[in-house]
C-alpha cells in the first residue's frame, strides 16, 4: 500500500515536472503588461501561477534591451496551435554576439548535436526530447515572441543549478522561533540580491560545460554567498571544508526542469535543478560569515515567507522546501 502511495506521489511529481511547473511569481514590472488572464494571476507577488503557460518568458520588454516581444496571447503559446501570422522578433544580445567562451556560435556556422551530450556541452533537456525546426531548437513550453539567443549563451537548454541553504530561525536563547499565526517553526535561507535586476534570489548559477550539478551547487554558493573568489588561500580552505561537509550531505531535490525566465526565447531557454541543504543544528554553514561576491550585490539569511517576492521561480522552490520540512510559509 505504502509503495503504491509512494509511486503515485512520484508520478504526480514527474507529471508536474513534465508540464513545466513551477509557475512563478510575477515581480517584474514587465509582467504587468501581458494578457488579461495572465495579468490577474500576477496580482500578488507570492502567487504561484496555476496556469500551464509560461508568463515571464512572454514579458513584453526583453530584459536589458529595447526589444519588444511579438505579443503571444495565452491561446497561441503552444506550438501545436497553428498561427501563420506569428512574426517573432529576432534578438541576440550584443554581449552574446561578441561570442564569449560561454556562448555558442551562430546557427549555420556550427553543427550542434541537439538532444545529446555534445562534447562537454549538455544539450539534453530535463523535460525530455525537444523539437528542432529549420536547424533551430524549439522552446518546449511554446512561443515567446522572440527568436535567437537573447541573453542566453546556448541554443536550446541553458542549465543552471540552485542551492537552497536553510536553517531554523532561533531566538537569543537558541530556541526555534514559532510563527504567531501558523504556529509552525520559521525557516531561513541564504539569499542574494542579484546585481542584474535587484531582486532577491537563491545564489544559483550556470552549470559549466562538463561540470557535475553537485559541484555547481557548491561552487555557486561559495562564490556568491561566501565570496570565495576573493578569499585568501587560508580562508578558501576553511570555506571549502565547512561547505563540502554540508553539500556532501544528501540534499533534497525540490525541482528539476524548465524555468519560466524572462530571458527565454523560442530557441534558447533556462532549466534548473534546485536542491535544499539544511543545517538542522545551526552549527555548520550557519556559522560562516556571509559575504556577497561575483553576481551578488548583497547576501543575507532571510525568513522564508510566502510574502517575500523572489526572482524567477524561486518562490515555488522554497514552498516545496517548507512543505517538506513542515515549516511556516
Q: Which of 25, 312, 326 is nearest to 187 (CA)?
A: 326
Q: Give CA torsion, residues 231, 235, 238, 241, to 10 deg.
A: 30
Could you tell me the CA-to-CA distances from 117 to 18, 62, 123, 125, 210 in Å, in that order?
Answer: 20, 29, 6, 10, 9
Q: What CA–CA distance (Å, rounded) separates 160 from 70?
A: 27
Beta-carbon contacts of residue 255 (< 8 Å; ≥ 6 apart): 17, 22, 162, 272, 273, 274, 313, 316, 317, 320
Helices assigned H by DSSP within 60-110: 94-97
Choice from 59, 259, 290, 304 touching ligand BGC (CB under 6 A): 259
- E strand residue ranges, 169-293: 187-194, 200-201, 205-206, 252-259, 268-279
Which of these segments, 31-39, 72-80, 198-206, 248-256, binds ligand BGC (CB under 6 A)?
198-206
* Contact pick of 20, 22, 140, 204 for ligand BGC (by CB under 6 A): 204
Residues 83-142 that bind ligand BGC (CB under 6 A): none
Closest distance to ligand BGC from the beta carbon of 311 (Å): 7
162 binds ligand BGC (CB under 6 A): yes
- Binding window for ligand BGC (CB under 6 A); candidates: 15-23, 117-125, 170-178, 199-207: 199-207
Closest CB to ligand BGC among residues 31, 160: 160
Provide the angle, in degrees to the nearest 10, between the axes of the packed helices 233-248 and 213-225: 130
**In this structure, are residues 193 and 185 in contact, taking their beta carbons and an 8 Å threshold?**
no
Is residue 160 within the footprint of ligand BGC (CB under 6 A)? Answer: yes
Decide whether 118 or 271 has the Cβ nearer to ligand BGC.
Answer: 271
H/E stretch holding 148 reads strand 146-150
C-alpha cell at 117: 551530450
If the CB atoms of residues 145 and 203 are measured against ligand BGC, the closer one turns out to be 203
Given the complex with ligand BGC, which of 168 and 317 has the nearer CB atom? 317
Place of cell 535567437: 148
Nearer to ligand BGC, 177 or 302 (CB): 302
Q: How far is CA 60 from the centre of its chain?
A: 20
Q: Report residue 300 as a C-alpha cell.
A: 543575507
Residues 283-312 that bind ligand BGC (CB under 6 A): 312
Nearer to ligand BGC, 192 or 327 (CB): 192
| Nearer to ligand BGC among residue 152 and residue 285 (C-beta) | 152
Query: Which range, of 109-117, 166-174, 196-204, 283-291, touches ligand BGC by CB under 6 A?
Result: 196-204
Grid coordinates in use for 217? 551547487
Dist. CA 154–CA 130, nearest whole Å: 14
Among 145, 157, 163, 205, binds ligand BGC (CB under 6 A): 205
Q: Which stretch binds ligand BGC (CB under 6 A): 12-20, 202-210, 247-255, 275-283?
A: 202-210
Q: In terms of CB distance, is 122 or 261 closer to ligand BGC?
A: 261
Nearer to ligand BGC, 255 or 329 (CB): 255
Instruction: Give me the phi and psi of 174, to 5 degrees please.
Output: 85, 5
Write the binding mask 214 to 253 for ligand BGC: x where contact by CB under 6 A, - elsewhere: ----------------------------------------
227 to 167, 170, 177, 232: CA distances (angstroms) = 20, 25, 29, 10
Least separation in angstroms between CB 196 and ligand BGC: 9
Asked if residue 279 binds ligand BGC (CB under 6 A), the reply is no
Residues that bind ligand BGC (CB under 6 A): 160, 162, 201-202, 204-205, 259, 261, 270, 272, 312
Amino acid at each position: 500500500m505504502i509503495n503504491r502511495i509512494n509511486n503515485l506521489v512520484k508520478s504526480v511529481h514527474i507529471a508536474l515536472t513534465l508540464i513545466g511547473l513551477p509557475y512563478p511569481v510575477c515581480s517584474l514590472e514587465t509582467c504587468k503588461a501581458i494578457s488579461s488572464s495572465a495579468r490577474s494571476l500576477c496580482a500578488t507577488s507570492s502567487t504561484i501561477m496555476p496556469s500551464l503557460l509560461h508568463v515571464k518568458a512572454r514579458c513584453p520588454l526583453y530584459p536589458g534591451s529595447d526589444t519588444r516581444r511579438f505579443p503571444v496571447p495565452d491561446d497561441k503559446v503552444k506550438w501545436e496551435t497553428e498561427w501563420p501570422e506569428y512574426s517573432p522578433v529576432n534578438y541576440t544580445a550584443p554581449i552574446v554576439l561578441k561570442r564569449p567562451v560561454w556562448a555558442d556560435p551562430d546557427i549555420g556556422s556550427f553543427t550542434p548535436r541537439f538532444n545529446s551530450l555534445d562534447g562537454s556541452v549538455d544539450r539534453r533537456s530535463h523535460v525530455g526530447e525537444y523539437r528542432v525546426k529549420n536547424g533551430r531548437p524549439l522552446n518546449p513550453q511554446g512561443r515567446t515572441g522572440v527568436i535567437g539567443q537573447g541573453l542566453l549563451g546556448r541554443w536550446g537548454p541553458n542549465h543552471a543549478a540552485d542551492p537552497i541553504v536553510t536553517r531554523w530561525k532561533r531566538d537569543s536563547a537558541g530556541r526555534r522561533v514559532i510563527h504567531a499565526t501558523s504556529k509552525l517553526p520559521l525557516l531561513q535561507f541564504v539569499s542574494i540580491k542579484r546585481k542584474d535586476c535587484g531582486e532577491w534570489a537563491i545564489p544559483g548559477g550556470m552549470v559549466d560545460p562538463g561540470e557535475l550539478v553537485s559541484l555547481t551547487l557548491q561552487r555557486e554558493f561559495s562564490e556568491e554567498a561566501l565570496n570565495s573568489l576573493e578569499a585568501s588561500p587560508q580562508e578558501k580552505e576553511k570555506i571549502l571544508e565547512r561547505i563540502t561537509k554540508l553539500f556532501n550531505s544528501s540534499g533534497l531535490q525540490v525541482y528539476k526542469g524548465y524555468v519560466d525566465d524572462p530571458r527565454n526565447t523560442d530557441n534558447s531557454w533556462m532549466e534548473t535543478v534546485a536542491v535544499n541543504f539544511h543545517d538542522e543544528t545551526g552549527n555548520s554553514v550557519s556559522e560562516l560569515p556571509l559575504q556577497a561576491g561575483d553576481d551578488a550585490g548583497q547576501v543575507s539569511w532571510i525568513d522564508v515567507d510566502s510574502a517575500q517576492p523572489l526572482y524567477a521561480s524561486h518562490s515555488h522552490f522554497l514552498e516545496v522546501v517548507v512543505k517538506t520540512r513542515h515549516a511556516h510559509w
